[in-house]
Amino acid sequence: MFRFVLLIVSCLALTNADVFGSNSEDGLLSYVGLNNSRINEMLNSDGLKFAGQCYYAVMKEEYNNSSQQPDIKDAQEMLKLADVLRNFSDCLEDTSFDVSIPRFVANTIIFIIENLYGDAYDCIFKSNIEGLFIYCASQYNYTQTMEQLPQEFKNVSYCVAGKLSCSHSDIESFMAATHAGADLFSLLTNEEPGVPVFDSEVYENLYPNID
């Protein structure tokens, strides 16, 4: 079943991972792991160790025990998390190691958070967003295979967007977040993800204003 929580799959992966009390490498793998062969191959690499050290350091500074994990229903806490993740992403710039996947994940999560919890927050989260996803998903004949799920989720997001009583800019933010989340899911489940580079322009004008 399609659920709104898939929109912020990356945020949930972060907040549900035991990164605050675990060692840095295990925490990072919980954060970006899933079933990706390239990420698994990075387990003992210098790049993963460096990324783990950066991630653990910035998280430990802001969230020094597990009881301080951010609440995904609190806009201010989530926007603070985006700032913390930006520090993590910035830390990853200071190395020649391959940290393309952790950096892509961090930048995508920042983008998702800022679109869902910024100006569009009030309208999006006051809508019956999960009910709309369930209704729209029921209108399609989905196989829901791992490979097809991201594109199917994007298709459903257009249906949901058309039923939101929000401003056009809020709907654009919603669409940007859903598509970025779907692309992140696709990357993390792709056996050959390549070297990803996050580009926010890809998510502009996904829902043209026809008025």
- Give residue 188's pLDDT: 76
pLDDT digits (tens, 9 = 90+) for 67-126: 566 777 788 988 988 898 899 899 988 777 778 888 888 899 899 999 999 999 999 888
Confidence class of residue 64 from pLDDT cuts 50, 70 and 90?
low
Q: How far apart are CA 151 and CA 169, in angstroms?
A: 23
What residue spans define the domains of the chain?
Answer: 4-203
- Give residue 193's pLDDT: 65
- Give residue 166's pLDDT: 93
pTM: 0.80
pLDDT digits (tens, 9 = 90+) for 159-168: 999 999 999 9
pLDDT digits (tens, 9 = 90+) for 23-60: 444 544 454 444 455 555 655 577 777 888 888 888 77
Cα 206 from chain centre? 18
